[in-house]
Homo-oligomer: A and B are copies of this chain.
Amino acid sequence: MLLHKNDIEALERRFRTHLINGVTGFSSANLVGTVGAGGQTNLAMISSVVHIGAHPPLKAMVIRPHSVPRHTLENILETGHYTLNHVHADLCLQAHQTSARYPREQSEFDACGLEACWLDAFPAPFVARSRIRIGMRYREHQTLAINDTVLVVGEVVLIDVPDDCLVATGHLDLERAGTLAVNGLDGYHDTRQLTRLAYAKPDCPAGPLSPETTGYQAGG
């Protein structure tokens, strides 16, 4: 099926929301944990985290004005810190429930049955049951004039990962952690690693990083 610009514009609104949200494939599944200056915690599902750089270690996320409550952004600007917590299969229902529009005075940690925890005096709350957790320090944000979404850039300043999910190369074993991938607003998927490929060079065909550790078979 080939949809042109006028076909896309004519789609029923909810159909179009689903199609456009999911059309570019999978995204990451994280819960953003924050706390306001007054001590009120907040937790929000976010699937828009994107890599910005490793040296320094930077990640960005897109906060949309109409889809995600701004409590998260307000808290980040107040305290300068936030957490990213991987969503696993056993957290999926509670994680999704955080996207409901709870009033500011109600913490999604409590409302959705996800216990908060505090690591090493880091000034934002983590999700106790999440197995890969990242402490972020706010660096900058930009508003996109095109539709008022906000790009928040932060620095990775704390990483908490189970020993058996971190391999010798620095890669993470996300299947062992049980981390999910998201499609669109509502699709939750588990994964199976097919291969890790070596750094690509023009004169050398693509191949696995290490057949022993990835289980990759040529042609498989």
Number of copies: 2
Known: A92-B194, A92-B195. A97 touches B50 (CB 8 A): no
In the complex, what distance in Å separates the CA atom of A51 from the CA atom of B50?
10
Neighbouring B residues of A79 by C-beta, 8 Å: none
B181 touches A25 (CB 8 A): yes
Distance between Cα atoms of A215 and B29 in the complex (Å): 21
Q: Chain B residue with minimal CB distance to A158?
A: B4
Across the interface, which residues of B come within 8 angstroms of A204, CB to CB?
Answer: 100
A15-49: which residues lie under 8 A (CB-CB) from chain B? 15-30, 47-49
Query: With A187-B196, A198-B186, A205-B93 as given contacts, are A146 and B52 in contact (CB-CB < 8 Å)?
Result: yes
Q: A20-B156, A24-B84, A161-B1 are in contact. Are A62 and B52 (CB under 8 A)?
A: yes
- A25 near B2 with CB under 8 A, answer no
Q: Does A191 lie within 8 Å of B193, measured CB to CB?
A: no
Can you list, as one digit per residue, whether each of A134-173 has a CB less than 8 Å from chain B (1) or not (0)?
1000011010111101010100111111110010011110
**Which residues from chain B contact A182 at a C-beta distance below 8 Å?**
26
CA distance A192 to B182 in the complex (A): 11
CB distance from A101 to the nearest CB of B (A): 6
* Across-interface contacts of A50 in B (CB, < 8 A): 27, 48, 50, 62
A89–B21 CB distance below 8 A: no
A188-B197 CB under 8 A given contacts A8-B156, A134-B23, A160-B2: yes
Please state if B198 and A188 are interface contacts (CB–CB under 8 Å).
no
Whether A187 lies near B193 (C-beta < 8 A) is yes
Tell whether, in the assembled complex, residue A162 and residue B1 are in contact, meaning their CB atoms are under 8 Å apart: yes
7 nearest A-B residue pairs (beta carbon): A18-B170, A15-B170, A25-B28, A100-B200, A26-B181, A20-B54, A189-B191
A residues within 8 Å of B by Cβ? 1-5, 8, 11-30, 47-60, 62, 64, 84, 86, 89, 92-94, 96-102, 106, 111, 119-120, 132, 134, 139-140, 142, 144-147, 149, 151, 153, 156-163, 166, 169-172, 174-175, 179-202, 204-207, 209
